[in-house]
Structure 1
Amino acid sequence: MLQRIQTVYLAIVFILVGVLPFVFPLWKLEGGKEFYFMSKMVYQILFGLSTALTVLSIISFKKRQQQFVFNRLNMILNLILLGLFVYRSLNLSGETPVVSEKGIGMFLPIISIVMLVLANKAIKKDEDLVKSVDRLR
């Protein structure tokens, strides 16, 4: 059902990876120019795949195991995205003239991963409840 708590968590993930990257910059370049994810093709692909997996997970609410797998894949994608952000921020430190300030957009994958973990816990709890009811029959 769409009113489950994991759907709320997945809706938050959808907002985090599908909407907020357009609003918050990843970092600010020299001269105050903001760097959004649309500037690099790799970030576009990863954010797009993450958004697609989130939508697929929300749509497949009747198949809990499939939803669980989609969330796991989404976590891996967000970890890769986070790794790219960390690599970029460590490779081009704040003292260089290229990057002057990190943006809040770099933290979106972290919050997304936390929400996906909470969604998976809720899915597991639902699955255990269904199995316990089947045992009583």
Structure 2
Amino acid sequence: MIQRIQTIFLFLVAVAMILVISFPIWQQVNPSQTQLMTLTAWNLTTLDVVGQEPVDTSSKIFIGILAVISAGIAIFSLTQYKNRTRQMFLNMVNSFVMVVNVGLIIWTTHTANALINPEVNGAFVTGFWAIFGGMICNLLANRFIRKDELLVRSVDRIR
């Protein structure tokens, strides 16, 4: 049924992935405080703080694509409420996509940090933490879906 609690959690997964797309993921300032490096879901931009103009921009579209795929899987899983097994499988796939996305973000930030300021780590901001919020909501949705499935099986056993 669509009015179950897992529907809210799956909707929150989609919202979290939209936050990943909308907000910056990581920021770093070089030691002389003249350049700011910002990672978003679509690109990695080095900005000159003094002139407020981009020095370098490299495309990181794979992060945004994985976030869109994850949001799409969550919305599709939300509509599969009649088949709980398929819904749990889709949520497992979605968890894997989010873990791969986090891994790619960490790898990207590690390599970018080595270029600008290897002594100090950059700061993960809203977009990065939204992925973890999405992961938690995805796990909670799976838990409640599993609980519904066990309830239905126990009722079938009584008949």
TM range (shorter): 0.7 to 0.9
Structure 2 runs not aligned, ≥5 long = 30-34, 44-59
2:132 counterpart residue number: 110
| Corresponding residue pairs, total | 136
- Kept after mapping to 2: 8 A contact 1:64/1:127: yes
**Counting helix residues as a fraction of each chain, which structure ranks higher?**
1
The sequence identity of aligned pairs, in percent, is 29
User: What's the offset of the Cα at 1:97?
Assistant: 4.6
- Kept after mapping to 2: 8 A contact 1:26/1:104: yes
Structure 1 runs not aligned, ≥5 long = none
Please give the secondary structure, in 2, of the residue aligned with 1:61.
Answer: coil
Considering only aligned residues, what root-mean-square deviation do their CA atoms show, in Å? Answer: 2.2
Taking structure 1 as the reference length, the TM-score comes to: 0.87
User: What's the offset of the Cα at 1:84?
Assistant: 0.9
39-48 or 94-103, which deviates more = 94-103
Measured in 2, the distance between the counterparts of 1:86 and 1:118 equals: 24
Mapping for residues 66-105 of structure 1, pairs under 5 Å: 66-93=86-113, 96-97=116-117, 100-105=122-127
- Kept after mapping to 2: 8 A contact 1:94/1:100: no
Measured in 2, the distance between the counterparts of 1:108 and 1:121 equals: 20
Consecutive aligned runs of 4 or more in structure 1 exceeding 4 Å deviation: 97-100
Q: Whose radius of gyration is greater, 1 or 2?
A: 2
- Amino acid across the alignment from 2:77: S
